[in-house]
Amino acid sequence: MERRRVLSHYVCEKDVEDRTMTLPGVWATRCHALMADEITLTTVNEKQWVVGVIRSNDGKIILTGEAVNQFNAHYNLVVSNEVEFQTGSGRNFFVRIRKYDGVEIDYESDGGKPNDRKNRVPPTLSIMLGEEDLNAGFLSIPASWGEQYTAFAGSREVQVVVADGMTWNLMTQKKPDNIVTLTGNELKYFINHYMIRTSFRLMFEYMDDDMFRVVVMDNLGVEIDYPKIISVGMALNDNI
């Protein structure tokens, strides 16, 4: 049975110009639903879009049709927006949309107005990892994250629960120039354990207080196959 995955796509100029969405061909090998002629996209506010799927000559997956054009226009997608696909049953995908800073958008309610902050679904956050951050041993966090969650406002412990069930204790640290970084003794082990490289992506989903569920995606935006291990302690020992 094919396991459920999270897939991440950054909107590019070609998507905007062609009014389509071009995805890596390797996605179809990880998610067989993308071999179908059409799929259903469902957003957080339960709007559904049935879009066509075709394959280009070079093997890429192209989401096309008037529904894609309407989807792009409805959410005002622009270059560097991120569209996340969570595989569901059959040809169904649960979709989340994030802005250039990695913060999920406010979706419209059935009445056509943004959901009020009190009742809205807590927004997800995501970041693409750069070589500079990985070499420095910390991850730079956009300032807007702190506006969403106090955990990312600086100088406190943050627990991240990875999709494989392992929990890691990290720290946020606010520098004099107000840049916030994600750091801590376990960060380098976290990076090594999941073999995180440049252009990998991390998606943070709020769980409770300073705890977040984290999904790790590779440089093609595909959720990784997580290594099997019993505990964080074993991971730390493996990296000594």
Read off the pLDDT band of 229 (50, 70, 90).
Answer: low
- The CB-side HSE value for 225 (13 A sphere, CA atoms) comes to 4
Q: Is the pLDDT of residue 232 over 60?
A: no
Distance from chain centroid for Cα 178: 25
Say whether 172 sits in a helix, a strand or coil.
strand
- Provide, rounded to the nearest whole percent, the portion of the chain with pLDDT above 70: 88
- Res 110: pLDDT: 47
Amino acid at 62: I
Q: For 59-75, how does the pLDDT look when each residue is reduced to its tens digit (9 = 90+)?
A: 999 999 999 999 999 99
| Distance separating alpha carbons of residues 114 and 95, to the nearest angstrom | 17
Please say whether the beta carbons of 204 and 214 come within 8 A.
yes
Tell me how far apart the alpha carbons of residues 157 and 208 are, in angstroms, rounded to a whole number. Answer: 13
The pLDDT score that the predictor gives to residue 121 is 75
pTM of the model: 0.88
Q: Is the pLDDT of residue 3 over 60?
A: yes
Residue 38 predicted with pLDDT over 70 = yes
DSSP character for 34? G
- Total count of residues recorded for the chain: 240
Residue located via tokens 């110009």: 17
The two structure tokens encoding residue 19: 């009014």
Contact, 39 vs 27, CB < 8 A?
Answer: no
pLDDT digits (tens, 9 = 90+) for 123-178: 999 999 999 888 888 898 888 998 899 889 878 899 999 989 999 999 998 877 77
pLDDT-derived band of residue 231, with 50, 70 and 90 as boundaries? Answer: low
Predicted confidence at residue 4, as pLDDT, reads 76
The per-residue pLDDT of the chain, averaged, comes to: 87
Which pLDDT does position 216 carry in this prediction? Answer: 96
Q: Report whether 8 contacts 221 (CB < 8 A).
A: yes
Query: What 8-state DSSP symbol labels residue 165?
Result: S
pLDDT above 60 for 217:
yes
**pLDDT the model gives residue 69:** 93
> How far is it, in rounded angstroms, from Cα 43 to Cα 132?
34
- DSSP letters, 109-153, are -TTSSBPPTTTSPPPPEEEEPPHHHHHHTSEEE-HHHHHH-GGGS
Of the candidates 51, 137, 46, 141, the residue with the CA atom closest to the CA atom of residue 91: 51
Provide the pLDDT confidence category of residue 1 given band limits of 50, 70 and 90: very low
Place of tokens 């099997």: 228
Paired sense of beta strands 125-128 and 61-64, if any: unpaired
Does position 116 have pLDDT exceeding 60, yes or no?
no
Residue 108 predicted with pLDDT over 50 = yes
Q: pLDDT-based confidence at 2, cuts 50/70/90? A: low
The phi, psi pair for 94, rounded to 5°, reads: -90, 125
Q: From the CA atom positions of the chain, what is the Rg in Å?
A: 18
Lowest mean pLDDT among 6-20, 101-115, 118-132: 101-115
Name the residue type at position 238.
Answer: D
Q: Are 31 and 87 in contact (CB under 8 A)?
A: yes
